[in-house]
Chain A
Amino acid sequence: MTITTDARAVRERFTGPAIEAEHLVKRFGDMTAVDDVSFSVPQGTVLGLLGPNGAGKTTTVRMMTTLTVPTSGTARVAGHDAVRDPEAVRRSMGLTGQAATVDEMLTGRENLRLIGSLYGLPRAEVRRLSSELLERFSLAESGDKVAKEYSGGMRRRLDLAVSLIAAPPVLFLDEPTTGLDPRSRVELWEVLSGLVRDGTTLLLTTQYLEEADQLADRIVVIDHGRVIAEGTALELKDQSGQAAIVLTVSHADQLEEARALLASHVSEVHVDESARQLTAPADGLSDMTRVAAVFDRSEIVLDDLGLKRPSLDDVFLSLTGHRAEQDAGGQTEAPAEQTTHQGESR
Chain B
Amino acid sequence: MSQPTTDTDTDIDTATRTAVAAPAVDHRPPGLARQVQMMVWRNLKHTRRQPEMLTDVTIQPVMFVVLFAFVFGGSIQTDSSSYREWLLPGIMAQTMAFASFIVANGLNMDLEKGIIDRFRSLPISRGSVLIGRSVYGIIHSSIGIFVMSITGLVIGWRIRNGFVDGVLAFLLLLLFGFAMIWVGILVGSAMRSPEAVNGLMFTTIFPVTFLANTFAPTEAMAPVLRTIAEWNPISSLVQAMRELWGNVPPAPADAALPLQHPVVTSIAWSVLITAVIAPLAVRAYVRRTTD
Asked if B25 is at the interface (CB within 8 A of a chain A CB), the reply is yes
Q: Which residues of A contact B22 (CB under 8 A)?
A: 12
Asked if A246 is at the interface (CB within 8 A of a chain B CB), the reply is no
Q: Which residues of B contact A8 (CB under 8 A)?
A: 26
A209 to B183, CA, bound (A): 47
Q: Once the chains bind, are B20 and A43 in contact (CB under 8 Å)?
A: yes
Chain B interface size band reads 35 or more
Q: Which residues of B contact A343 (CB under 8 A)?
A: 112
Question: A1-36 toward B: CB 8 Å interface, digit per residue (1/0)?
Answer: 100100010011111001000000000100000000
**Segment touching A, from B117-125, B142-150, B199-207, B221-229:** B117-125
Q: Can you report 20 residue pairs joining A to B where beta carbons are below 8 Å apart? A: A4-B28, A12-B21, A28-B291, A67-B117, A67-B121, A68-B291, A69-B290, A90-B123, A94-B121, A102-B115, A115-B118, A118-B38, A120-B30, A120-B34, A122-B27, A166-B24, A201-B16, A201-B20, A215-B1, A340-B117
User: Could you say which of B1, B4, B121 contacts A42, with CB atoms under 8 Å apart?
Assistant: B4
Q: Chain A's nearest CB lies how many Å from the CB of B12? A: 5
Known: A45-B4, A217-B4. A95 touches B121 (CB 8 A): yes
Q: Which residues of A contact B121 (CB under 8 A)?
A: 65-67, 90, 93-95, 97
User: Could you say which of A168, A217, A340 contacts B3, with CB atoms under 8 Å apart?
Assistant: A217
Residue of A nearest to B110 (CB): A103
Q: Which residues of A contact B50 (CB under 8 A)?
A: 105
Asked if B283 is at the interface (CB within 8 A of a chain A CB), the reply is no
Asked if A114 is at the interface (CB within 8 A of a chain B CB), the reply is yes
Asked if B13 is at the interface (CB within 8 A of a chain A CB), the reply is yes
Q: Which residues of A contact B82 (CB under 8 A)?
A: none
User: Could you say which of B20, B30, B289 contacts A118, with CB atoms under 8 Å apart?
Assistant: B30
Q: Once the chains bind, are A214 and B1 in contact (CB under 8 Å)?
A: yes
Asked if A198 is at the interface (CB within 8 A of a chain B CB), the reply is yes
User: Could you say which of A4, A68, A118 contacts B35, with CB atoms under 8 Å apart?
Assistant: A118
**Segment touching A, from B41-49, B56-64, B95-103, B235-243:** B41-49
Give A94-114 interface residues, CB cut-off 8 Å to B: 94-95, 97, 99-106, 110, 114
A115 to B120, CA, bound (A): 11
Q: Which residues of B contact A78 (CB under 8 A)?
A: 20, 23
Q: Once the chains bind, are A105 and B122 in contact (CB under 8 Å)?
A: no
Instruction: Add 11 more A-B contacts to A118-B38, A169-B20 (CB < 8 A).
Output: A28-B291, A44-B13, A66-B121, A97-B121, A100-B114, A106-B46, A119-B30, A120-B28, A170-B20, A217-B2, A344-B114
Q: Chain B's nearest CB lies how many Å from the CB of A92? A: 6
Asked if A341 is at the interface (CB within 8 A of a chain B CB), the reply is yes
A101 to B117, CA, bound (A): 7
Q: Once the chains bind, are A44 and B12 in contact (CB under 8 Å)?
A: yes
Give B124-164 interface residues, CB cut-off 8 Å to A: 124
Q: Chain B's nearest CB lies how many Å from the CB of A189? A: 10
A78 to B290, CA, bound (A): 23
Q: Which residues of A contact B4 (CB under 8 A)?
A: 42, 44-45, 217
Q: Which residues of A contact B25 (CB under 8 A)?
A: 91-92, 119-120, 166-168
Q: Which residues of A contact B29 (CB under 8 A)?
A: 1, 91, 119-120
Q: Once the chains bind, are B15 and A92 in contact (CB under 8 Å)?
A: no
Asked if B19 is at the interface (CB within 8 A of a chain A CB), the reply is yes
Interface of A is mostly: loop
Q: Which residues of A contact B45 (CB under 8 A)?
A: 105-106, 110
Q: Once the chains bind, are B123 and A117 in contact (CB under 8 Å)?
A: no
Asked if A38 is at the interface (CB within 8 A of a chain B CB), the reply is no
Q: Once the chains bind, are A15 and B17 in contact (CB under 8 Å)?
A: yes
User: Could you say which of B38, B46, B119, B291 contacts A105, with CB atoms under 8 Å apart?
Assistant: B46
Q: Which residues of B contact A199 (CB under 8 A)?
A: 12, 15-16, 18-19
A80 to B124, CA, bound (A): 17
Q: Once the chains bind, are B1 and A216 in contact (CB under 8 Å)?
A: yes
User: Could you say which of A1, A117, A167 contacts B23, with CB atoms under 8 Å apart?
Assistant: A167
User: Could you say which of A18, A28, A94 contacts B16, with CB atoms under 8 Å apart?
Assistant: A18
User: Could you say which of B21, B23, B120 contacts A91, with CB atoms under 8 Å apart?
Assistant: B23
A155 to B207, CA, bound (A): 42
Q: Once the chains bind, are A168 and B120 in contact (CB under 8 Å)?
A: no
User: Could you say which of A12, A94, A103, A193 contacts B42, with CB atoms under 8 Å apart?
Assistant: A103
Q: Chain B's nearest CB lies how many Å from the CB of A100? A: 8
Asked if A286 is at the interface (CB within 8 A of a chain B CB), the reply is no
Q: Once the chains bind, are A119 and B117 in contact (CB under 8 Å)?
A: no
Give B50-86 interface residues, CB cut-off 8 Å to A: 50
Asked if A232 is at the interface (CB within 8 A of a chain B CB), the reply is yes
Asked if A46 is at the interface (CB within 8 A of a chain B CB), the reply is yes
Q: Once the chains bind, are B115 and A117 in contact (CB under 8 Å)?
A: no
User: Could you say which of B2, B15, B24, B35 contacts A167, with CB atoms under 8 Å apart?
Assistant: B24
